Amino acid sequence: MTVNFNNLRLQAVFGIQKLTEQLNQGILVEPEWGEAKFPIHGETTIKGNILIDSEEIESNLNNLISLVNTIACVFEEDNDDFKDLTSEIKNVPVWFKDEDNI
């Protein structure tokens, strides 16, 4: 059987990209480190805390959790390079801000 994960992988990449943008926008830069600059590649010297409303990232984070859990649960029998990981995973987050996990 052939399974195409391209869309699932793309959704995960776009989700990480969006979450990274949201977190970068929430950085409160400490004055001694100057203005926030976000280069595409290379080192940054930004230090500070992140202030972001949890509701702003909730949907995106829940989508990422679902995508990663889906990828982790897919396996191919008798293939150690693509084995069942469910026995190795403990306390998998179900949803962000899930009352049972707070």
User: Tens digits of per-residue pLDDT, 42-90?
Assistant: 555 566 778 888 889 999 999 998 888 888 888 888 888 888 887 777 7
Average pLDDT, the chain: 78
Above 60 in pLDDT, residue 95? yes
What one-character DSSP code corresponds to residue 81?
G
Contact between 101 and 93 under an 8 Å Cβ cutoff? The reply is: yes
Q: Tokens 């977190």 belong to which residue?
A: 23
- Tell me what pLDDT residue 35 has: 57
Domain locations in the chain? 6-101
